[in-house]
Structure 1
């Protein structure tokens, strides 16, 4: 299977999906990030704990993580073992095409994982072998120049999505033993995500959840990897971006996501996403 080096840009350049099989002897430095598409992370080797929205997942080879367009995430990669993974990026357009053709919603497991804040799949050994075989076939088809190679790659990807979805709903409860989390921080994260248009100061959150603001600051940073301010700012900007992609006017996105000052919103948006809100459109 073709391997590539890690690309830190995290930008999707193809319309429907991208397939990346990456291998690093020296662990790359990956900052907290998010992206306006779905991601399937298929872990193959390394010493990695993956942080997603305040939960840390201690990964085993064959584990799969699902993230969508609102999830802030980052792998914590320790040296000593090669870091190998397959990452598949999927645009809304691809899922809409599958919905129209097969009358199946393949985003359902992503949606359910986001609602439950539980994004880890741990397939059994037979399923891992089957998923690896599909990835090998997908990679081969994508690098082929024969007739129908792109159609063949899409067919393998569709089969891959079927088995990932099945594995998600069949996941055993025992995988929760490899998740590090804090109930209070989980409650605060849920509250933030449900109230992005409201005041979300440190003092206000500490009062609401009956916790010292100093303790809250330390615990929030420990479990999310971000300060409370950084997390809230990123989530507001992500929400604004998703509103713009859905067709909302820039001012509506600004106000609905808790930005009282339009000029500050413009600056923050460009700093986070590299372009002005007015130029950020779907696709």
Structure 2
């Protein structure tokens, strides 16, 4: 496979999908991020714990992680081994086109994993070999100047998605032993995500969940990797961005995501996404 230099940008520049195979001898530092598209992360080598929405996944080569447009995540990469992975970004339109052609919804593994808040797939060795073969084929045709290369890459990618979906529903329960989480923090995360327009102050949450403010702050930072304030702000901005992409007005997005000050909303949005809300229309 063609190997790329690591690019910290989380912006998709192609219309339907992007395929990136990256390799690093020295582990890069990746900050917490999210993006307005689906992501398949295919781990090939390294020493990595991957944090997604408060759960930390201890990865083995061949593992796959699924994230959607509302998930805050980052890899914690330790030195000692080369870090290699394939990352595939998929726009909503890509899945819409597949549904029109084949009548199948290949986003179900993403939506189901989000509902269960469990994003890890661990295919068996035969499926890992097949998925790697498909990645080689996608990489080869992606860099080919021949006619129909994009169409061929799309076909191989569709096959890749089918195998990922099958592996998701065949995943053994034993892989859950490689997940670190905290049930109290999970309950707080659920409450936050269901009440983003409401008061989510530290005082309110500590009272509601019968936990001291100091302990809540410490546990939240330990399991989420962000402070309580940082997480709530990112989540509100993500929901606002997704509302804008769906056609909502800037003012509606501001008010319905818990922001009481319009100018502060604009500044926070620009700081988080690098563009103003009106640029998403």
The alignment of Structure 1 onto Structure 2 pairs a total of residues equal to 281
Residue 238 of structure 2 corresponds to: 238
Question: Partner residue of 1:219?
Answer: 219
Q: Partner of 1:99 in structure 2? A: 99
Q: SS in structure 1 opposite 2:98?
A: helix
Question: Residues 48-75 of structure 1: CA distance to partner in whole angstroms, max 9, x if unpaired?
Answer: 0000000000000000000000000000
Q: Which secondary structure state, in structure 1, belongs to the residue aligned with residue 128 of structure 2?
A: helix
Tell me, in whole angstroms, the C-alpha distance in 2 between the residues paired with 1:109 and 1:41.
14
> 1: CA distance between counterparts of 2:146 and 2:264?
51
The match for 1:165 is 165
| Structure 1 partner of 2:150 | 150
TM-score by length of 1: 0.99
What is the alpha-carbon distance in structure 2 between the residues aligned to residue 9 and residue 132 of structure 1? Answer: 24
List per-residue Cα deviations over 1:87-119 (Å, max 9, x = no partner): 000001101111111111111110111111000
Q: Are residues 1:21 and 2:21 paired?
A: yes
Structure 2: how far apart are the matches of 1:105 and 1:255?
Answer: 33
Query: For 1:19-98, what aligned pairs fall within 5 Å after superposition?
Result: 19-98=19-98
Distance (whole Å) between structure 2 residues aligned to residue 5 and residue 204 of structure 1: 45
- Give structure 1 stretches of 5+ with no counterpart: none
Give the whole-Å Cα distance in 2 for the aligned partners of 1:278 and 1:199: 26
Structure-1 residue corresponding to 2:279: 279
Q: What is the Cα deviation at residue 145 of structure 1?
A: 1.4
Tell me what 1:125 maps to. Answer: 125
CA–CA distance in structure 1, aligned partners of residues 210 and 5 of structure 2: 46
User: 4+ residue runs of structure 1 moved beyond 6 angstroms?
Assistant: none
What CA deviation, in whole Å up to 9, does each residue of 1:116-162 have, x standing for no partner?
10000000000000000000001111111112111111000000000
User: 2:257 is matched with which residue?
Assistant: 257
TM-score, with length taken from structure 2: 0.99
CA RMSD of aligned residues (A): 0.5
The answer to whether structure 1 residue 12 and structure 2 residue 12 are counterparts is yes
Structure 1 residue 25 displacement after superposition: 0.1
What's 2:189 paired with? 189
Q: Aligned residue for 2:209?
A: 209
CA distance in 1: counterparts of 2:134 and 2:197, whole angstroms: 43
Q: Distance in 2 between matches of 1:280 and 1:22?
A: 29
CA distance in 1, matches of 2:195, 2:101: 37
Deviation of 1:17 after TM superposition, in Å, equals 0.3
